[in-house]
Structure 1
Amino acid sequence: MKKTIMITGATGFIGSNFIKKYKNEYNIIPICLIKNKPEELDYTGVDTVLHLAALVHQMKGAPEEKYFEVNTELTRKLATIAKKNGVKHFVFYSTIKVYGFDGELNNPEFILTENSMCNYNPNDPYGASKYEAEKILNSLQDEKFKVAIVRPPMVYGEGVKGNMLSLIKLINILPVIPFNYNQNKRSIISTENLLYMTHLIIENIADGIYLGTEGNPVSIKEISESIERGIGRRKINIKFPNFIFKILCKVKPNIMVRLYGTLAFKQEDNYEKIGYKPRLNMSDEIKLMIGDYKNEH
């Protein structure tokens, strides 16, 4: 018998891809929380709520209270009402921003786990609001209401926008690229593996925290080389002179941390209980992603 999954944020990137991939395995109820209030929803027969709807970082900024209204209070209301209506499983997409850590330029061996302390930056209302939601959900959990929290790192794959797409565009255009650095380590996950992990969480009615990792963290050099192979053209890959690198770190610290800093994760628990092992490796998924990018351009 098919499980019934209620998905909020169903038109977003993760939601739409999950529905596309698993529409034949589940009875899926897509929900828009802009149009529907949690108390107006019909939870009859719902096995799992997959809560993806969120207010993410806004380029033009958003009031701090809006993040807490959407990411914290709406999550609390949805989970509380779902529990009262007999839903037994709640899967919440959080963020690695709950750690309050964007990367480490000086210590490439630094690794975070699902058990590392969350010490979010109060200047980051997105991470703060998600962490407050996590705490509320954990307080609601009991034997009849299981809560799983997913904290994915950078996601890549077909249709993904954001940082990875920007990197592909940059490498595609430039004949010389400044990514010949192999010390930094960054955890990333493909859409395929993230959706598969979410599917396993649902199938096992699993609780706990899931970071969404695939194999060992990779360096910016490894990522750029995979993109080069996908594009089909090798580039001249260089390092900045040391004094220029230091100047750039002072002038553009956020960009330098995202490109050259270490932001690595290791799952200590929980993967074994759901039987998760990555399906695709980075090179395979990046080839698909670049094929998708080329088709659009």
Structure 2
Amino acid sequence: MKRVLITGANSYIGTSFEKYSSEHYASELSVDTVDMIDGTWKQKDFSSYDIVYHVAGLAHADVGNVSDEIKAKYYAINTDLAIETCKKAKNEGVKQFVFMSSAIVYGDSAPYGKTKRITKDTEPEPANFYGDSKWQADKGVRALADENYIVTVLRPPMIYGKGSKGNYPTLAKMAKKLPVFPNVPNERSMLYIENLCEFLCQVMIRGEGGIFWPQNAEYTITSDMVKMIADASGHKIHVSKGWNWVVGLARVIPGKPRGLANKAFGNLSYEQNMSRYGFTYNVVDLKASIERTEC
């Protein structure tokens, strides 16, 4: 059995992984958690663990209106803390360090009407301080890998599931209230929380290192997902191209309207081939994942 230490208490991903691994891989993974807020983690002995899974970090930044002090906090937590934790794990004999990077290192979504398909050859190009704070950590922890120390970096797209934060719950609220919704063709990579947890279990059990781009087996079209959410919630919504003019209008209005249109109907996807590995991790398909999230 491998012992796993989650560095970062009470995070959505960390608690979800701990629950999932105990239900599905209790005989192979034993999971503990340490809080990273007050600094006492520095005194914790890492040497009894095989794997450190680092989830501590700041996300969901209002990148358009942030002080230099807040930006510095993002770098201190997302970059410096991650690298310091990785060094401590290495120095104390931990065999594998797993780090949650993000698709945000590739910049923002392509705006409505344009495509953005990421391949293994796409160079990261963060669009703001939040993305750069993750990118600097991404590079920093990988630089510590050697033949005796495995570093596993995940760059997942938007993660969603029951209790998740971010863009998904905002979209779900609209799906449950609006009578109509635009039928705009777009393409987004997403990752359901149980699929992520299965992926994590697999790379930990197998001891696989490097950069990984896990995603659902299917791309998501925003209008299709809204219809699925509405159906799962018992709400009737009419998805029609007749309302696409609203999105077209919003995208040319500077400020919040353009931002919302691009966030909801923009394009950002990973090439599917780069997300296929020597194991199966997509245990829940898109439709079932929406139903589980909304039940």
2:60 corresponds in structure 1 to 57
Report the counterpart of residue 122 of structure 2 in structure 1. 116
Residue number among 19, 43, 48 corresponding to 1:45 in the alignment: 48
Q: Which residue of 2 aligns with 1:6?
A: 5
Contact 2:102 2:155 in 1 (8 A): yes
| Alignment match, 1:295 | none
- RMSD of the TM alignment (CA)? 2.0
Post-superposition CA distance 1:129-170 (Å, at most 9, x none): 110111111211111111111112112222223321222221
- Secondary structure of 1:272 counterpart: coil
Q: Which runs of 5+ in 2 are unaligned?
A: none
Partners of 2:213 and 2:30 in 1: how far apart? Answer: 26
Partner of 2:15: 16
Partners of 1:41 and 1:265 in 2: how far apart?
A: 38
Q: Distance in 2 between matches of 1:210 and 1:272?
A: 9
Q: Aligned partners of 1:22, 1:241: CA distance in 2, in Å?
A: 44
Report 1:45-124 matches (<5 A).
Answer: 45-59=48-62, 61=66, 63-108=70-115, 110-121=116-127, 124=128
Assess if the C-alpha contact under 8 Å between 2:214 and 2:275 holds in 1: no
Tell me whether 1:206 sits opposite 2:212 in the alignment. Answer: no
Number of residue pairs matched by the alignment: 284
**Is 1:30 aligned to residue 36 of structure 2?**
no
Structure 1 residue aligned with 2:194: 192
**Offset at residue 185 of structure 1 (A):** 0.4
- After the TM superposition, which residues 133-172 of structure 1 pair with which residues of structure 2 at under 5 Å, given as runs? 133-172=137-176
1:37: Cα distance to partner? 4.5
Tell me by how many angstroms 1:217 deviates. Answer: 1.2
Q: Does the 8 A contact of 2:107 with 2:124 survive in 1?
A: yes
Distance 2:133 2:50 in 1: 26
Q: For 1:207-222, list aligned pairs within 5 A.
A: 207-222=209-224
Normalising by structure 2, we get a TM-score of: 0.89
State the TM-score, normalizing by the size of structure 1: 0.88
Q: Secondary structure at the match of 1:164?
A: helix
Contact 1:226 1:282 in 2 (8 A): no
> Is the Cα–Cα contact under 8 Å of residues 99 and 120 in structure 1 kept in the other structure?
yes
Contact 1:188 1:217 in 2 (8 A): yes
Which residue of structure 1 aligns with residue 258 of structure 2? 253
| Structure 1, gaps ≥5 residues long | 292-297
- What SS does structure 2 have at the residue aligned with 1:5? strand
